[in-house]
Amino acid sequence: MFNEKVILITGGTGSFGHYFTNYIFSNYKPEKLIIFSRDEFKQYEMAKIFPTSKHPIRFFLGDIRDKDRLKMALDEVDYVIHAAALKQVPALEYNPFEAVKTNILGTQNLTETALEKSVKVVIALSTDKAVNPVNLYGATKMTMEKLVTAANAYAGKRITKFACVRYGNVVGSRGSVLEYFLSLKNKGILEFPVTDIRMTRFWINLDSAINLVATAIQKCNGGEIFVPKIPSMKILDIINAISDKSSFKIIGIRPGEKINETLIHEEESRNCYDLIDYYVIMPQFGFESKNFQYYKEHKKVPEGFIYKSNTNSWWLNVEEMKKLIKNTNIKDYKDGNDDFI
């Protein structure tokens, strides 16, 4: 589906952008792939891995806060993957205006421009922190989901479809607790700071994240939120996976942090379908021009269903996490899109 297509990734120099770019060039022959981001040094570094002499790639310097720049970037684009965002939970608690400008107003700029430029599909990357948010980052991501979903109502008879994917911590991404603990280990520090020993998190690898986005592009009718079925893990098991000689010290919950995360809350269960490998949350208001019959042929989740990290039926053990760490080259994808645990 990506052959002879023009694809743009906002925030494309992050771990998702690196991995998705490699996925595209390894499996398809796109007309062009555009990396849209505001950091010229990261673009310079990424261009060493994907040189323009070998790949149909374009590095487009810009910020999603700048609507005029987006208009130039989205000209003749078929698919947009919206990965750009400010993500560090503690930093955004103390810099809320900046979070709103990028995560909310930047998303509005993107949806309006995508409609104007007749982009075929826009897929926005969300997070479990958008569900019942207790921090500003989660609140901005929840708002982003609302903006993207509602953009389908503005599309009318135009071709543009908007949808979201929502998942948990990404193995190997910048800012994840896994990368942080590994960096401490590399410095010879084996006493890891833990906010609360009860803490659990959802985990997804980059391959699964890529597959979910590709599925969303192919299947979406507009307005859906795609949620993968992924495992949970306890914070102390993560420590044991990194080193059997490690210990920990309790530092207390940080501003905006949860003990457990939720991917689907109870109110969303009324509009949620089980598609074997993932869930699809339907929009709460209908779009008459969209065909959702495909999802209605599948099983609906029970009313009151909650998908939460501490009550999940699928858990990663220590050995499984060791394999994930071994199979993920964190150094290659350290400039990623994940937020702190």
Active site residues: 129
Phi, psi of 305 (to 5 degrees): -60, 135
CA gap 86, 256 in Å, rounded: 15
In the chain, the amino acid numbered 169 is: N
Residue 227 near residue 281 (C-beta atoms within 8 A): yes
CA neighbor of 162 nearest in space, from 203, 195, 113: 113
CA neighbor of 261 nearest in space, from 195, 203, 215, 333: 203
Residue 128's contacts (CB-CB under 8 Å, 6 or more residues apart) are 166, 167, 168, 202, 261, 262, 263, 309
Helix (H) or strand (E) holding 72: helix 67-73
Query: Which residue is it, tokens 């609507």?
Result: 67
Query: Which residue is it, tokens 């998908």?
Result: 307
CA gap 77, 32 in Å, rounded: 9
- Tokens coding 290: 């969209």
Residue 127's contacts (CB-CB under 8 Å, 6 or more residues apart) are 137, 138, 141, 166, 167, 168, 339
